[in-house]
Amino acid sequence: MNNSIAILGAQWGDEGKGKIVDLLTEKCDIVVRFQGGHNAGHTLVVDGKTTVLHLIPSGILHNNVKCIIGNGVVLSLDALSEEIEILKENNIDVNNQLIISNGCPLILPVHIALDKAREVKKGKAKIGTTGRGIGPAYEDKISRRGIRLGDLSNDRELFNKIEELLDYHNYILKNYYNSETFDPEKMCEKLISQYDFYKGYIADVPEYIENAFKDNKRIVFEGAQGTLLDIDHGTYPFVTSSNTTVGGIFTGSGVSPKKLDYILAIVKAYTTRVGSGPFMTELFDENGKILSERGHEFGATTGRERRCGWLDLVALKRSIIINGFTGICLTKLDVLDTFKKIKICTEYKDDKPIYEDFEGWNESIEGINKFSDLPKNAQIYIKKIQDYLNVPIDIISNGPGRNENIILNKKFS
Ligand code: IMP
């Protein structure tokens, strides 16, 4: 196994990263989140029990794994404390496992209000955000007026910063969106009281990671969302507001690119997307419904139905260029079990997808652990993906459980 692995979504998110991070962290010491916020939803199924995490890295269920929230993550203290409480109720030793950067920009209630008001104002042209305040919080970071976790340690300065921030946003909320405004004193008071809860978790993340590498610890960098939602490289403007691609790791955690050994793409065996925006291979027929139902394609964060379609190799090729993936983990292959015919998009022509047809395997592959035990047609489907993308498929996930995988690369076994 490599000392450091990045696990990144190669499509529009919801590729099944949580399960794979959880699987690989069995042999890891540290998991780092470096971008996004509680717009993410990572579903883990362990011993039949489902846990959905939004902010805390997926390694938290292994009690010897440290979980780091890097400076690139926008942090809702309300959402995080809720998650911490749930984990504590389940006897997870969060206090001992969780580490947070004091550089994390905070998502404040005003950001959530702005996010929602904007979407309403945009009407049909809305982005379909998760309504978690992600965009406005990142905007405040970039505009240098944001509040960071570390700012909560200085009450007097905090009040001035919040007053200035709200002065600006309240004006827009009141005059442009005709909506509710926020009181700086109340906001400041609440944040100061929350700091007591959080200060024990704060550490210097770049130094912590540097020391961990020196001690030969194994580190997983856990991406949220997917490549095609990247603010720079995604289907702009229908994207999230962070860098979901490999570069986000370095800016969002303070680790050097030289330290990354392996970049694993999580690729769903078909395609889904939540929210608005282009989706070349989207299906509006019975096949789309089957994918949605068999794949339980409802958002882990918002419960929204995901749009479903065939696998799009053209989009994935782009994803590979940007991230330089070393290997692929193909997920949810078992969702395709009942199809007689399966299509893969290999080309776009006149803005339309061109497909190659494949025979389905029409039998259950759930839980098969050896590639050679897969039906021939499933093997052909997998090989096509690998050959087209020219990146080895190292893991195949064929069921939601921790052990429902085919491991093809010894590094992961
Ligand atoms: P935001 O991140 O809430 O601003 O939403 C922007 C876009 O990213 C919308 O299309 C969302 O549906 C999408 N999005 C955000 N987080 C996720 C995720 O974890 N999985 C899939 N789509 C997401």
Give the atom of ligand 1 at the shortest distance from the alpha carbon of 135. 4
With respect to residue 241, please indicate whether it lies within any of the assigned structural domains: yes
Say whether both 64 and 115 belong to one domain.
no
Minimal-distance CA residue to ligand 1 atom 5:
129
With respect to residue 273, please indicate whether it lies within any of the assigned structural domains: yes
CA of residue 134 to ligand 1 center, whole Å = 9
Give the pLDDT confidence score for residue 299 in this predicted structure.
80
Give the pLDDT confidence score for residue 30 in this predicted structure.
97
Say whether both 80 and 215 belong to one domain.
yes
Say whether both 309 and 172 belong to one domain.
no
CA of residue 393 to ligand 1 center, whole Å = 26
Can 167 be counted among the known catalytic residues? no
Minimal-distance CA residue to ligand 1 atom 15:
39
SS3 377: helix
Give the pLDDT confidence score for residue 378 in this predicted structure.
98
Binding site membership of 40 for ligand 1 (Cβ less than 6 Å): yes
Say whether both 178 and 85 belong to one domain.
no
Minimal-distance CA residue to ligand 1 atom 10:
275
Say whether both 302 and 406 belong to one domain.
yes
CA of residue 39 to ligand 1 center, whole Å = 6
Residue ending a domain, among 167, 200, 233, is 200
Question: Does this model's pTM top 0.85?
Answer: yes
Binding site membership of 135 for ligand 1 (Cβ less than 6 Å): yes
Say whether both 161 and 272 belong to one domain.
no
Task: Give the residue from 310, 105, 84, 298 showing the smallest Cα distance to 191.
Answer: 105
- Tell me phi and psi for residue 71, to 5 degrees: -60, -20
Binding site membership of 137 for ligand 1 (Cβ less than 6 Å): no
Minimal-distance CA residue to ligand 1 atom 1:
129
Give the pLDDT confidence score for residue 2 in this predicted structure.
66
CA of residue 382 to ligand 1 center, whole Å = 28
List the domain range (segments joined by +) for residue 192.
109-200
Among residues 22, 29, 42, 230, the one annotated as catalytic is 42
Q: Is the dihedral of CA 374, 376, 377, 379 positive or negative?
A: positive
Binding site membership of 62 for ligand 1 (Cβ less than 6 Å): no
CA of residue 50 to ligand 1 center, whole Å = 21
The CATH number linked to 297 is: 3.40.440.10
**Which residue is it, tokens 């902010």?**
55
The CATH number linked to 146 is: 1.10.300.10
Q: How far apart are CA 260 and CA 132, in angstroms?
A: 30
CA of residue 197 to ligand 1 center, whole Å = 28
With respect to residue 208, please indicate whether it lies within any of the assigned structural domains: yes
Can 14 be counted among the known catalytic residues? yes
Residue ending a domain, among 200, 215, 247, is 200
With respect to residue 104, please indicate whether it lies within any of the assigned structural domains: no
Say whether both 329 and 219 belong to one domain.
yes
Binding site membership of 231 for ligand 1 (Cβ less than 6 Å): no
Residue ending a domain, among 149, 170, 200, is 200
CA atoms within 13 A on the CB side of 255: 34
Say whether both 159 and 39 belong to one domain.
no
Say whether both 228 and 83 belong to one domain.
yes
What one-character DSSP code corresponds to residue 137?
Answer: H
With respect to residue 222, please indicate whether it lies within any of the assigned structural domains: yes
Say whether both 193 and 219 belong to one domain.
no
Say whether both 215 and 196 belong to one domain.
no
With respect to residue 138, please indicate whether it lies within any of the assigned structural domains: yes
Q: How far apart are CA 279 and CA 147, in angstroms?
A: 36
With respect to residue 102, please indicate whether it lies within any of the assigned structural domains: no
Say whether both 210 and 309 belong to one domain.
yes
- Tell me phi and psi for residue 397, to 5 degrees: -105, 125
Minimal-distance CA residue to ligand 1 atom 21:
13
Give the atom of ligand 1 at the shortest distance from the alpha carbon of 304. 12
Binding site membership of 241 for ligand 1 (Cβ less than 6 Å): yes
With respect to residue 297, please indicate whether it lies within any of the assigned structural domains: yes
Binding site membership of 297 for ligand 1 (Cβ less than 6 Å): no
Number of domains in the chain: 2
Q: What is the pLDDT of residues 187-243, one digit of tens each?
A: 999 999 999 999 999 999 999 999 999 999 999 999 999 999 999 999 999 999 999
Q: What is the pLDDT along the chain (413 residues), one digit of tens a residue?
A: 569 999 999 999 999 998 898 889 888 999 999 999 999 988 777 777 787 889 999 889 899 999 999 999 999 999 999 999 989 988 899 999 999 999 999 999 999 999 999 999 999 999 999 999 999 999 999 999 999 999 999 988 999 999 999 999 999 999 999 999 999 999 999 999 999 999 999 999 999 999 999 999 999 999 999 999 999 999 999 999 999 999 999 999 999 999 999 999 999 999 999 999 999 999 999 999 999 999 999 987 778 899 999 999 999 999 999 999 999 999 999 999 999 999 999 999 999 999 999 999 999 998 899 999 999 999 999 999 999 999 999 999 999 888 899 999 977 76
